[in-house]
Structure 1
Amino acid sequence: MSTNKVIHAIYNDDDILMDAVKASRAAHHHIEEIYTPFPVHGLDKAMGLAPTRIAIASFLYGVVGLTVAANLLNYMMIVDWPQDIGGKPSFAFYQNMPAFVPILFELTVFFAAHLMVITFYLRSRLWPFKEAENPDVRTTDDHFLMEVAVNGNEEDMISFFKNTGAVEVKVIDKH
């Protein structure tokens, strides 16, 4: 069984973390993961992560919701059991469209929101009853942890991260 060494550099300020990420990327250190207690604006770009396609997924989920809503309303109100409600004719979907707009909107938002949450959990691999993968409990409160693969002289990397403003630097054997 092979072991990989990683460095856990712990920071207590998000601005210092951002500067450290930029310095680490400039020094060509491979950042494995960053653990933060809250979202840090611009961290994804500083890490060099690819842009997200979440907006495209959200739009497609909204289209699915609109399609399901339109077909559901057409079937229920026109095909299956047409009713004369408020003197509106039940001969065609387009004739009742103004009355259907709120339901179409609500089901579009419903599908987009719920499918986005499901997509988030699947992409994040957050299954029910999953054990936490957080390496340091302080990152859920007020500290930031940058996990960097050791790829060279360990002592030089430790001094590099201490110079970037890390309050604590540890070398960990990852199995």
Structure 2
Amino acid sequence: MAAKVLHAFYTDDDILMNAVKKVRDKKYSIEEVYCPFPVHGLDKAMGLQHTKLAITSFLYGCVGLAVALTMMNFIMIVDWPQNIGGKPSFSLMENLPAFIPTAFEMTVFFAAHLMVITFYMRSKLWPFKEAENPDVRTTDDHFLMEVNVGANDIQEVAEFLHSTGAVEIDLKKEVKHD
């Protein structure tokens, strides 16, 4: 979907935070904010929802634990039982203390690797993907806030953004967001 978007540039993170709050109070739509470093509290100021990645991490860990216990039960109890040090190999529960380190490592392994894959898929970071940064200055010393103009007057929104501390305002007529 293409829309008219204003790019407002800021030189300080505190000014940016105050500007985001003012823009949200004015009910303008903030498309995205680009920063050269993480700005703590910006997600809350923008009104972004909490991520559900922690839930998926827990579920991936549970899958890893289930795979580990199933694998160890099959290998050590069913397929190739061995009498090691006089310990019986009749069931998984009798030998569970010996399997705890392996079960823990498989849990962490599955959670970590599947979370990386999930993060890349969720943020659409594919190999050889070109950067979507609208201005190279946002990787050095500037902060950029994309504000959707919508049905509002462009000049009015630009003046409001300038009053929030923006040092430069550019109009981008066709900005496409998925």
TM-score normalized by the length of structure 1: 0.93
1:63 corresponds to: 62
Q: CA deviation at 1:70?
A: 0.6
Q: CA deviation at 1:85?
A: 2.5
Q: CA deviation at 1:120?
A: 0.7
Distance 1:173 1:147 in 2: 12
With 52-61 and 18-27 compared, the bigger mean Cα shift is at 52-61
1:171 corresponds to: 171
With 11-20 and 93-102 compared, the bigger mean Cα shift is at 11-20
- 1:31-50 equivalences under 5 Å are 31-50=30-49
RMSD: 1.5
Distance 2:141 2:72 in 1: 50
Distance 2:70 2:47 in 1: 43
Runs of 4 or more consecutive aligned structure 1 residues displaced over 4 Å after TM superposition = none
Distance 1:3 1:65 in 2: 43
Q: Structure 1 residues 163, 66: closer, same or farther in 2, change over 3 A?
A: same
Matched residues, number: 174
Which AA in structure 1 matches 2:7? H
Q: Structure 1 residues 88, 38: closer, same or farther in 2, change over 3 A?
A: farther
Q: CA deviation at 1:154?
A: 1.3
2:159 corresponds to: 159
Q: CA deviation at 1:3?
A: 5.4
Distance 2:84 2:15 in 1: 64
Distance 1:34 1:103 in 2: 43
2:94 corresponds to: 95
Distance 1:143 1:96 in 2: 59
* Secondary structure class of the residue paired with 1:95: coil
Superposed CA deviations along residues 7-61 of structure 1, whole A, max 9, x for unmatched, are 1111122221111111000011100111122222221211112221112111111
- 1:120-135 equivalences under 5 Å are 120-135=119-134
TM-score normalized by the length of structure 2: 0.91
Which AA in structure 1 matches 2:82? Q
Distance 2:136 2:87 in 1: 61
With 46-55 and 80-89 compared, the bigger mean Cα shift is at 80-89
Unaligned 5+ runs, structure 1: none
Unaligned 5+ runs, structure 2: none
